[in-house]
Amino acid sequence: MYVGMQGDRKMGRARKIIFFSLLWSSCLALEGGMLTPKESRSREIKELNGVWKFRADFSKNRNTGFEQRWFTKSLSESGPVIDMPVPASFNDITQDPRLRDFIGWVWYEKEVWVPQRWTAVDSGQRVVLRVGSAHYNSIAWVNGAQVTQHEGGHLPFEADITRLVHSNPSQPCRITIAVNNTLSLHTLPPGSIQYMSDETKYPAGYFVQNTNFDFFNYAGLHRPVLLYTTPKAYIDDITVTTDFADSTGVVNYVVSIKGSSNPSVTVALSDKEGSVVATASGPAGMLKVVDVNLWWPYLMHENPGYLYSLEVHMTAKSGSSQYEDYYTVPVGIRTVRVTSHQFLINSKPFYFHGVNKHEDSDIRGKGLDWPLIVKDFNLLQWLGANSFRTSHYPYAEEILDMCDRLGIVVIDECPGVGIKDIRSFGNESLAHHLIVMEELVRRDKNRPSVVMWSVANEPNAELAPADYYFKSVITRTKSLDPTRPVTFVSNSNFNRDKGAPYVDVICVNSYFSWYHDPGHLEVIQIQLNTQFEDWYKKYQKPIIQSEYGADVVPGLHSDPPMMFTEEYQKIVLQEYHAVFDRKRKEYVVGELIWNFADFMTAQSTTRVVGNKKGIFSRQRQPKTGAFILRDRYWKLANETRRLPLAARYP
């Protein structure tokens, strides 16, 4: 129960206002596609990244912005504004602790000139506003008119703003976006607001945000905001699935068009050199590719991440106007299949030797950060990692583009982390979870790098309602995408986990000698062996060790090893690896270290300025564990691909 639930009328009001957006329920199936914005012969992009005006609504009820209608005029007319970079989390940008820990509505604003060729009434163009991700609830206005609202922090949303930009082309266009980071029992991830009403201990009206995950709840406009155009009749969505038999590849496609009832569609598939290898016409069809180059994971083949390009061309007539639209989608031809003890990519056993990550960086928080993205891929390749899980939310499309190109295999996780409270298993939560899975599949369905969906991390799967809940989410995800396996990541007892019967691959997290038997390295092998045997005997499904690890404060040493030292992490890894090496010959199909790099968390007695289980520091410098893993991953790669020794380290 929230403290201060009864009595204080003012607090009741504040509570209502912080939550009002959370009552939007996302019950409807999604309308239309969500293609990644791309330039083409028929499409233009204008990025709105840079410095925006920003104002956090520090009022007691966090609602002054709505009461005073800050969206109707320039934000600076409402009161003091500060500079805020986009994309970035707002939390670490200033020296103000109130902003770092802020809960409630923040307001962003940018004025932008829309090119005349877009706004002319006869331009034949649609203009779309797209937000890559805003955490958590958002409302967007253009010139004071609300154009969209969205619930959820890690997936894109957009609005057709053509009418608004046409109406006043001689003025810059004012874009206002309000974002609220409050998490409730029905958001993903869930959280709760706790009111502290004892005024002998807390200031009047004091409240905190509780969560069941440890990463810092960074908030703001995290990914690029942009305007893009399409013709009025346009390619709205493309779905591609692939297969192969012997040396012939198969690409099935479905194109959905909007704005015309009689479009004509042609598609052309080109190889890496740009030569057209297959063509077809019609909104759905099948292309055959002779002498196919399959999409292979990094280190499994000398030519990983091979991508064809599928160019879709639409022409449509509407009255006297003729529209043409072009959109190109990268296509990796590959298959994924799961047996009782193997994970097969292109019918060959695939072993995940990879990492868990976070979108986390100094200063930018969860904001898209190109230098960091490229650095991380360099480190992944240096490490010999062939895969990662998007713990614990969908990552930016820009990151997945690189995975597609480099052959880094992805377990694509939705933000279902920390579903612990029984009230988060009800219909409202379930309805939202289904929508989030739909949004995720809609965004990432064409990506060859994505080989499995993860619907949650460490939920309280032993609760009675977890059965229906996970059955529903997993069944729905499979119906949205019949081509990929589905899992969730468990830390429940193997016998009592009510969601496990529905998954294709068992993913288990365990922290032996850390959270269990801290300091006792000697118990790891026996406990890990038991863990694997228990799960396999019960389910006969392949198993991935989806998390294991230990915190290290970089530079701390001790021998014999003690917790938090480099030596302790090293032994934890080696003890786990000894068991993986026995079990990967049977049914263990992967190991993902927790974590690739240190990351920021909420403050607590168990965290030393963040979670330190990274094998790299937050600044991406290696700890001892990184060298242990590098040695191991390259050896594993050599085993599966028999690389010549010279190719061991790039």
Residues identified as active-site: 458
Q: Which amino acid type is present at position 315?
A: T
Shortest distance, position 28 Cβ to ligand GCB, whole Å? 31
Write down the residue that tokens 């930018």 correspond to.
364
Shortest distance, position 438 Cβ to ligand GCB, whole Å? 24
Q: Which is nearer to ligand GCB, 325 or 547 (CB)?
A: 547
Rounded to 5°, angle at Cα 648 from 647 and 649: 95
Q: Which is nearer to ligand GCB, 69 or 520 (CB)?
A: 520
Q: Which amino acid type is present at position 27?
A: C
Q: Which is nearer to ligand GCB, 125 or 387 (CB)?
A: 387
Q: Which is nearer to ligand GCB, 336 or 456 (CB)?
A: 456
Shortest distance, position 548 Cβ to ligand GCB, whole Å? 9
Chain-centroid distance of CA 357 in Å reads 11
Shortest distance, position 417 Cβ to ligand GCB, whole Å? 7
Shortest distance, position 568 Cβ to ligand GCB, whole Å? 14
**CA–CA separation, 134 and 179 (whole Å):** 7
DSSP 589: E
Shortest distance, position 214 Cβ to ligand GCB, whole Å? 4
Q: Which is nearer to ligand GCB, 120 or 609 (CB)?
A: 609
The tokens of 32 are what? 């239309």
Question: Rounded to the nearest 10 degrees, what angle do helices 624-641 and 370-383 cross at?
Answer: 60
Q: SS3 for 474?
A: helix
Shortest distance, position 31 Cβ to ligand GCB, whole Å? 33
Chain-centroid distance of CA 574 in Å reads 30
Burial class (CB in 10 A: 0-12, 13-18, 19+), 605: exposed
Nearest by Cα to 180 from 116, 107, 289: 107
- Interface with ligand GCB by CB under 6 A: which residues? 213-214, 392, 457-458, 491, 509, 547, 594, 611, 613
Q: SS3 for 101?
A: coil
Q: Which is nearer to ligand GCB, 125 or 491 (CB)?
A: 491
Q: Which is nearer to ligand GCB, 320 or 604 (CB)?
A: 604
**CA–CA separation, 190 and 610 (whole Å):** 21
Shortest distance, position 217 Cβ to ligand GCB, whole Å? 13
**CA–CA separation, 342 and 442 (whole Å):** 27
**CA–CA separation, 486 and 473 (whole Å):** 10
Task: State the residue number with the nearest CB to ligand GCB.
Answer: 214
Contact residues for 195 (Cβ-Cβ < 8 A; gap 6+): 2, 3, 4, 5, 11, 15, 206, 207
DSSP 429: H
**CA–CA separation, 624 and 626 (whole Å):** 5
Q: SS3 for 453?
A: strand
- A 10 A CB-CB count for 85 gives 18
- Which residues are bridge partners to 353 per DSSP? 591
Q: Which is nearer to ligand GCB, 392 or 484 (CB)?
A: 392
Q: SS3 for 192?
A: strand
